[in-house]
Amino acid sequence: MIYLDNAATSLQKPESVVRAVSEALCSLGNVGRGVNAGSLSAARVVYGTREKLSAFFGGDDPSRVCFTCNSTEALNIAIFGLLGPEDHIISTDLEHNSVLRPLYRLEDRGAALSFLAADRKGCVDYDDLPGLLRPNTRAVVCTHASNLTGNALDIRRIGAFCAEHGLLFILDASQTAGSFPISMTEDNVSVLCFTGHKGLMGPQGTGGMVIAPGVEIRPFKTGGTGVQSHLRSQPEAYPTRLEAGTLNGHGIAGLSAAVDFLNETGIETIHRHELDLMARFYDGVRAVPGVTVYGDFDRERAPIVTLNVGDMDSGEVSDILMEDFGIAVRSGAHCAPRMHAALGTTAQGAVRFSFGYFNTMAEAEAAAEAVRSIAEG
Partner 1 sequence: MREKKPMAVFTFYTTAAAMAMEKLCRERGLPGRLGPTPRSVTSDCGIAWLAPLSDREILENAPGAPEFAGVYEREL
Contact range with partner 1 by CB under 8 A, out of 145-153, 170-178, 192-200, 234-242 = 234-242
Q: Which amino acid does the sequence have at 74?
A: A
Smallest gap, in angstroms, from Cβ of residue 32 to partner 1? 4
- Asked whether position 27 contacts partner 1 by CB under 8 A, the answer is no
Q: Would you say 49 or 174 has its CB closer to partner 1? A: 49
Distance CA 261, CA 274 (A): 16
Distance CA 168, CA 326 (A): 44
Q: Would you say 1 or 237 has its CB closer to partner 1? A: 237
- Asked whether position 47 contacts partner 1 by CB under 8 A, the answer is yes
Contact range with partner 1 by CB under 8 A, out of 19-27, 220-228, 325-333, 349-357 = 220-228
- Asked whether position 341 contacts partner 1 by CB under 8 A, the answer is no
- Asked whether position 29 contacts partner 1 by CB under 8 A, the answer is no
- β partners of residue 39: none
- Asked whether position 132 contacts partner 1 by CB under 8 A, the answer is no
302 φ, ψ (degrees, to nearest 5): -85, 160
- Asked whether position 213 contacts partner 1 by CB under 8 A, the answer is no
- Asked whether position 209 contacts partner 1 by CB under 8 A, the answer is no
Smallest gap, in angstroms, from Cβ of residue 222 to partner 1? 15
Q: Which amino acid does the sequence have at 66?
A: C
- Asked whether position 32 contacts partner 1 by CB under 8 A, the answer is yes
Q: Would you say 43 or 129 has its CB closer to partner 1? A: 43
- Asked whether position 62 contacts partner 1 by CB under 8 A, the answer is yes
Distance CA 220, CA 207 (A): 16
Pairing between β-strand 207-211 and β-strand 65-68 as defined by DSSP bridges = antiparallel
- Asked whether position 223 contacts partner 1 by CB under 8 A, the answer is no
Near partner 1 by CB under 8 A: residue from 226, 290, 332, 337: 226
Q: Would you say 34 or 315 has its CB closer to partner 1? A: 34
Q: Which amino acid does the sequence have at 1?
A: M
- Asked whether position 233 contacts partner 1 by CB under 8 A, the answer is no
Smallest gap, in angstroms, from Cβ of residue 205 to partner 1? 20
Near partner 1 by CB under 8 A: residue from 5, 20, 28, 50: 50
Contact range with partner 1 by CB under 8 A, out of 45-53, 179-187, 199-207, 249-257 = 45-53
Smallest gap, in angstroms, from Cβ of residue 64 to partner 1? 10
Smallest gap, in angstroms, from Cβ of residue 67 to partner 1? 11
| Residues of span 236-255 touching partner 1 by CB under 8 A | 236-240
Binding site for partner 1 (CB under 8 A): 31-35, 40, 43-44, 46-47, 50, 62-63, 226-231, 235-240
